[in-house]
Amino acid sequence: MQKDTLNQAITKQEQIVKAIQANDEQVLKIIYQNNYYKVEQFVLKNSGTIQYAKDIYQEAFIAVWQNVKNNKFTPKNDSAINGYLFTIAKNKWMDYLRSPKYKKTESLKDFNSISNLGIEANNYNDDKDEEKLKMVLNAYKQLGESCQKLLTNFYFDKKSLKIIAKELNIEEASARNKKYRCMEKLRELALNKSNIGK
């Protein structure tokens, strides 16, 4: 891009910044609509859902709006605002993926899918689901050390059965059978606990 064209582009970005600072609804709406799809695609490709994408994008958009209003942003190229918005959304999503909240949600999804105990990951704050989670975790504590280690490696550390088998110095088929037996034991312990007092 030639210097004159770049200067014109930056001038245009500066005009956009002024419009954002003035709360120009039309400009804000255009920026919002033009950038959402890219963020949605990024979140979907990185273990997210459309609802997560919407939430993250809204947070990022508000952050950009506040930073521009507080003069914490200076355009340096022809797509500065768009790039800035995407970077903030991307960073927010990556932070969320590393957060304990995400890990807890994913762990509950794992337990739900493997034990059929009805734990819904999306509603893990509900008393009923907290009770079911405690039930599974208590059952988990009663498993032998080798079962605990295998299930932790597979469901929480996301290791493949091939790697687990190598670490345990056994065949992959044996590791698969062992995982199945450990899950059956976990299910049995948890369901026994749920039937106590009925």
| Residues 7, 93 within the same domain | yes
Which domain does 154 fall in, by range? 101-195
Same domain? For 136 and 61 the reply is no
Q: Which tens digits make up the pLDDT trace of 96-118?
A: 888 776 666 665 555 555 444 33
pLDDT 10s digits, 39-61: 999 999 988 888 889 999 999 99
Alpha carbons 129 and 112: distance in angstroms, whole number: 10
Q: Number of folded domains in the chain?
A: 2
Looking at residue 137, its pLDDT comes to: 75
31 and 89 both lie in a single domain:
yes
Are residue 152 and residue 89 in the same domain, yes or no? no
54, 73, 98 — which closes off a domain? 98
Residue at which a domain ends, from 98, 124, 142: 98
- Round the average pLDDT of the chain to a whole number and report it: 77
Taking CA 28 as the corner, what is the angle to CA 22 and CA 31, rounded to the nearest 5 degrees?
135
| 187 and 150 together in one domain | yes
| Start-to-end Cα distance in the chain | 75
Which CATH number does the domain housing residue 46 bear?
Answer: 1.10.1740.10
Least confident segment among 82-91, 106-115, 154-163: 106-115
- Most confident of the following: 46-55, 112-121, 123-132, 184-193: 46-55
Is there a single domain that holds both residue 109 and residue 191?
yes
**What's the pLDDT at 128?**
56
Q: Residue 118's pLDDT is what? A: 37
Residue 115 shares a structural domain with residue 191: yes
* Same domain (yes/no): 189, 155: yes
Closest CA to 133 of 144, 118, 152: 118
Same domain, 42 and 75: yes
Percent of all residues in the chain with a pLDDT value above 90, rounded to a whole number: 19
Say yes or no: 67 and 106 in one domain.
no
Q: CA torsion 155→156→157→163, rounded to 10°? A: -20
Two tokens, residue 103: 């890990």
Dihedral (C-alpha) 112, 117, 123, 129: value to the nearest 10 degrees?
A: -140
Of 58, 79, 98, the last residue of a domain is 98
Model pLDDT, residue 5:
58
Domain containing 121 — which CATH number?
1.10.10
Q: Can you tell me whether residue 149 is helix, strand or coil?
A: helix
One-letter amino acid of 64: V
**Same domain? 45 vs 128:** no
Q: Coil, strand, or helix at residue 121?
A: helix
Kindly list the distances between the CA atom of residue 79 and the CA atoms of 1, 42, 66, 74, 86, in Å, as whole numbers in the listed order. 13, 18, 18, 12, 11
Same domain, 69 and 123: no
pTM for the model stands at 0.52
How would residue 122 be classed by pLDDT, with cut points 50, 70 and 90?
very low
